């Protein structure tokens, strides 16, 4: 075994957005390269820190943005987007005095986001315009429409595809309590139709301004909440004209507010971010 003085000491912060929990690390004042095997060990809830995603904040690669933001799922795979994480990193850079701005811009793996800090319980993220173009969604050529059916568990399941920087499949259900989230989520997450995997949302419409949602996240499993999937579900509902432009989304971990004026406009998400504790670990 190595002693602690032979290992790298890394500072981190534990945060969560509606129960979707994160290990947040700034690699501006400290340096380290996280391998997928290390991320898997750290994410373990019995022997590690435990988290759904590792969020890394780096110096901006472009003078147009304040910071660069990277997201790794608990299995070590880097992904494109995390809405709950965006609110948390916005709060993080303020708590750590990395900026004094209340409007903060981040470049990401695929695009950019901007975070507007109003209060701890009211952080708004500009998630940009959703895309329903299959050219922007990594799917098999067998899929020719973002509104299609697939046969699962002896039923024809109606699916709607959209990307919010990361790919989502939204399924409308009659009850989120009785929806077979784990069974269907496990099948669809790595189905051959989805080349890079898919996040699966199970949406029940209460009325045109209110939905309930459960989410099976790619590489993670069911989580307490998923901000980008909440955005995706509302975008699908608005595009299909079954939801209004301002929608309350109730997830297992709490509530988000989503606003989208439709095509050619950015989509906005509002919700809380929570600081849990600071720590350090020797790797």
Count of CB atoms situated within 10 Å of the CB of 97: 7
> 105 CB contacts (<8 Å, ≥6 apart)?
64, 65, 66, 67, 112, 113, 114, 115
Q: Which of 82, 159, 169, 231 does the annotation list as catalytic? A: 82
Name the superfamily (CATH) of residues 134-265.
Diaminopimelate Epimerase; Chain A, domain 1 (3.10.310.10)
**Vertex 226 angle, CA 260 and 244, to 5°:** 25
Q: Which of 88, 169, 226, 231 does the annotation list as catalytic? A: 226
Fold of 10-128+272-276: Diaminopimelate Epimerase; Chain A, domain 1 (3.10.310)
Every domain of the chain with CATH number 3.10.310.10 lies at: 10-128+272-276, 134-265
Residue 38 and residue 1: Cα distance in Å, rounded? 16
> 282 CB contacts (<8 Å, ≥6 apart)?
4, 7, 8, 9, 10
169 flagged as catalytic: no
82 flagged as catalytic: yes
Per-residue pLDDT of the chain (283 residues; tens, 9 = 90+): 345 667 899 999 999 999 999 999 999 999 999 999 999 999 999 999 999 999 999 999 899 999 999 999 999 999 989 999 999 999 999 999 999 999 999 998 878 999 999 998 899 999 999 999 999 999 999 999 999 999 888 888 999 999 999 999 999 999 999 999 999 999 999 999 999 999 999 999 999 999 999 999 999 999 999 999 999 999 999 999 999 999 999 999 999 999 999 999 999 999 999 999 999 999 9
Count of CB atoms situated within 10 Å of the CB of 252: 17
């Amino acid at each position: 075994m190595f002693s602690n003085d032979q290992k790298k000491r890394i500072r981190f912060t534990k945060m969560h957005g509606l129960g979707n929990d994160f290990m947040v690390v700034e690699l501006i004042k400290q340096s380290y390269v996280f391998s997928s095997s290390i991320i898997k060990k750290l994410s373990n809830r019995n022997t590690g820190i435990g988290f759904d995603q590792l969020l890394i904040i780096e110096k901006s690669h472009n003078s147009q943005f304040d910071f660069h933001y990277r997201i790794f799922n608990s299995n070590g795979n880097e992904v494109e987007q995390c809405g709950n994480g965006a609110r948390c990193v916005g709060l993080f850079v303020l708590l750590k005095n990395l900026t004094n701005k209340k409007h903060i811009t981040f470049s990401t793996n695929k695009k950019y986001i901007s975070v507007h800090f109003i209060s701890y319980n009211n952080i708004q993220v500009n998630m940009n315009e959703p895309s329903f173009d299959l050219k922007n969604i990594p799917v098999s050529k067998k899929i020719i429409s973002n509104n299609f059916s697939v046969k699962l568990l002896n039923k024809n399941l109606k699916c709607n595809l959209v990307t919010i920087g990361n790919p989502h499949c939204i399924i409308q259900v009659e009850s989120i309590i009785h929806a077979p989230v784990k069974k269907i989520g496990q099948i669809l997450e790595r189905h051959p139709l989805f080349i890079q995997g898919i996040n699966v949302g199970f949406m029940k419409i209460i009325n045109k301004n209110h939905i309930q949602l459960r989410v099976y996240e790619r590489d993670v499993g069911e989580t307490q909440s998923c901000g980008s999937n909440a955005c995706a579900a509302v975008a699908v509902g608005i595009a299909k004209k079954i939801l209004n432009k301002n929608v309350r989304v109730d997830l297992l971990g709490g509530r988000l507010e989503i606003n989208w004026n439709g095509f050619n406009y950015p989509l906005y998400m509002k919700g809380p971010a929570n600081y849990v504790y600071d720590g350090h670990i020797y790797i």
